[in-house]
Copies of this chain bind each other. A is one copy, B any other.
Amino acid sequence: MTPTTAAVDPDKRTPGRPRSARAEQAIIDAVLDLIAEDVAIEALSIESVAAKAGVGKATIYRRWSSKEDLIVDAAASLKLPVPDLVGEDVRDDLIALLTSMGPSESATKRNHVFTCLSAQVQRSPELQVWYRKVIEPRRERVREVLRRGIAEGMLRPDLDVEVTLTVLSAPMTGRPIGGLQTQIDRGELAERVVDAVLDGARRR
């Protein structure tokens, strides 16, 4: 199995001997630590990863053919599962999906790495692949729930699904200084965003 395949689907990688697995985790952790220390991906070197992980460069190159593959694997380790949906109520499903989007309050280092990587995504084709894999499944679930709501007659038949997805998801992923996103937890934010978008601002 080539390192490139491993980068695409880490779960299918042969686990190897325990010592090997430990080295691999140390290498991934070292990459995440360096990114969390604001090292730009262009400036991140195999030497610095090897030094931080306490392994030789050869140990890294045995598993990953390039720095880019290693960064994509490290980023992929941050992936969270898409939540199961109740499937009965459009409002409940949208709140569950939105709550699972964007940074959580609890996992500070993970958030910081996620934010740093997201800021660098435009410059890196490899990170764009990762970003699509993390972001797109949630966005597609939101579209499915909206289409279900239209089919069931709960949502307007002429609903603009793409822009509705955008107004639902954008508040969950951006964190402007002084914005509501920095003042309330994401469960409450998700609920208020969903109600605002479902009900609309116009007086009925």
**Is the pair B155, A167 in contact by a Cβ cutoff of 8 Å?**
no
A11 CB to closest chain B CB, in angstroms? 23
A163 x B192 contact (CB < 8 A):
yes
Q: Which of A25-33, A61-69, A193-201 contacts B (4 or more CB under 8 A)?
A: A193-201
Q: How far is the CA of A166 from the CA of B178 in the complex (A)?
A: 11
Other A-B pairs beyond A163-B192, A167-B170, A196-B197, 19, CB < 8 Å: A38-B42, A38-B123, A121-B177, A122-B177, A131-B177, A136-B178, A156-B199, A156-B202, A157-B203, A160-B192, A163-B189, A163-B195, A164-B196, A167-B197, A170-B171, A173-B174, A199-B202, A200-B200, A200-B201
A175 → B minimal CB distance (Å): 8
**In the bound complex, CA of A204 to CA of B153 (Å):** 10
Using CB atoms, name the residue of chain B closest to A128: B177
CB distance from A172 to the nearest CB of B (A): 8
What is the CA–CA distance of A174 and B116 in the complex, to the nearest angstrom?
Answer: 14
Give the interface size class of chain A: 35 or more
- Provided the pairs A38-B40, A42-B38 are in contact, do residues A201 and B156 lie with their beta carbons within 8 angstroms? yes
Alpha-carbon gap, A197 to B146, bound state (A): 15
Nearest chain B CB to A104 CB, angstrom units: 16
Min CB gap A130→B, angstroms: 10
